[in-house]
């Protein structure tokens, strides 16, 4: 059955497809594409694969004018990563002038998603290697606004400033305690770990912010051909911020392979993990608050079990 909502979505896709056609015509001098295919995407962008005489391309279009900053940030980060040998999709153009909406044109990457490849362990180890390479890129400021932007007043000059002004970590801590994910003592410990991290005067570095198998393309031999989805890239503590996301959905063996690929020694891992866990905990808070607002008690209980450590088979009693 076609509902008004479905009909509206179909119309939006058709309109965005015409915008993609205009963007390609602008970039390639009115050479028409052979075909434009709508791709399943997230909530924030329309994504199209464009088959053209010049090659195959991906066009991302956002209905949100503010997304131009995110596209510019991605372009900056990917260009820096490409310079030091990280495989990424080639970005041809970012702008908003052609269709009055933010757009990005990039080349289609050869290969397939890494999630189901038979050489998953080798891929995970290589992911760790490239994560370490990305984290060598020095940046200024903490958070989402850094070297890509000339707006110096929007930058967080310190980790503590990032915690307070961008992450709003005290609100997040309150959420974790209020929703009974952590008790008062655990919240106190989490606060100390997070604030102490800034006292070491560690310089920030580029973090991809979502290095997971779903965002990795590989060839038939299992070699990585590209890291995708840089929209969460950030200037932050490395490797703690990077690992808090990268290790999130890996098995215990895969975690250790990733860390080996990164080049961390076992004593370094042990020393680093309290901060990695603290960042992981604090980043759960927005989802928990959303579930509470939706009165989704089933998923809240699942999160409560997860964050209690009940599923951790390896820690000491």
Reported as a single tens digit per residue, the pLDDT across 59-118 is 999 999 999 999 999 999 999 999 999 999 999 999 999 999 999 999 999 999 999 999
The per-residue pLDDT for range 286-301, each reduced to its tens digit, is: 999 999 999 999 999 9
Record the tokens describing residue 54, joined without a space: 């010049």
Could you tell me the CATH number of the domain that includes residue 161?
3.90.1200.10
Residue 198, Cβ neighbours under 10 Å: how many? Answer: 16
Q: Is residue 312 part of a domain?
A: no
For the chain, what percent of residues have pLDDT higher than 70?
A: 96
Q: Quick one: pLDDT band at residue 253, thresholds 50, 70, 90?
A: very high
Give percent of the chain with pLDDT exceeding 90.
86
Does residue 314 lie within any of the structural domains?
Answer: no
Q: Which helix (H) or strand (E) holds 277?
A: helix 266-293
By residue range, what is the domain housing residue 13? 4-107
- List the structure tokens of 129: 């290697």
What pLDDT is attached to residue 7?
58
pLDDT in tens, 165-201: 999 999 999 999 999 999 999 999 999 999 999 887 7
Mean pLDDT (the chain) is 93
Whole-number Å distance between alpha carbons of 259 and 124: 9
Is residue 307 within a helix (H) or strand (E), and if so which, with residue range? helix 297-307
Note the pLDDT tens digit of each residue in 14-69. 999 999 999 999 999 877 899 999 987 656 789 999 999 999 999 999 999 999 99
Number of domains the chain is built from: 2
* Same domain (yes/no): 152, 218: yes
Task: List the CATH number of the domain containing 76.
Answer: 3.30.200.20
For the cut 60, the answer to whether the pLDDT of residue 3 exceeds it is no
Structural domain includes residue 316: no
């Amino acid at each position: 059955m076609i509902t008004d909502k479905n009909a509206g979505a179909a119309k939006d896709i058709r309109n965005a497809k015409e915008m993609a056609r205009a963007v390609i015509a602008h970039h390639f001098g009115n050479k028409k594409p052979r075909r434009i295919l709508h791709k399943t995407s997230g909530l924030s962008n329309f994504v199209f694969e464009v088959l053209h005489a010049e090659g195959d391309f991906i066009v991302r279009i956002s209905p949100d004018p503010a997304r131009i900053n995110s596209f510019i940030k991605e372009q900056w980060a990917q260009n820096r990563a490409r310079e030091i040998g990280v495989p990424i999709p080639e970005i041809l153009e970012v702008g908003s002038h052609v269709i009055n909406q933010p757009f990005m044109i990039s080349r289609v990457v050869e290969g397939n998603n890494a999630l189901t490849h038979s050489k998953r362990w080798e891929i995970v180890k290589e992911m760790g290697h490239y994560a370490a390479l990305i984290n060598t890129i020095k940046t200024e400021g903490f958070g989402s606004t850094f070297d890509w932007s000339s707006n110096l007043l929007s930058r967080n000059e310190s980790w503590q400033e990032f915690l307070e002004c961008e992450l709003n970590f005290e609100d997040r801590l309150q959420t974790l305690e209020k929703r009974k994910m952590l008790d008062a003592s655990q919240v106190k410990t989490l606060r100390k770990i997070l604030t102490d991290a800034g006292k070491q005067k560690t310089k920030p570095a580029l973090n991809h912010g979502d290095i997971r198998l779903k965002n990795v393309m590989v060839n038939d031999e299992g070699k990585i051909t590209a890291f995708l989805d840089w929209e969460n890239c950030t200037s932050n503590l490395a490797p703690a911020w990077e690992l808090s996301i990268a290790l999130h959905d890996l098995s215990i063996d895969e975690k250790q392979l990733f860390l080996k690929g990164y080049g961390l020694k076992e004593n370094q891992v042990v020393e680093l993990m309290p901060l990695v866990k603290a960042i992981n905990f604090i980043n759960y808070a927005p989802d928990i608050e959303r579930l509470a607002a939706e009165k989704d008690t089933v998923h809240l209980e699942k999160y409560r079990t997860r964050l209690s450590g009940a599923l951790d088979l390896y820690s000491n009693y």
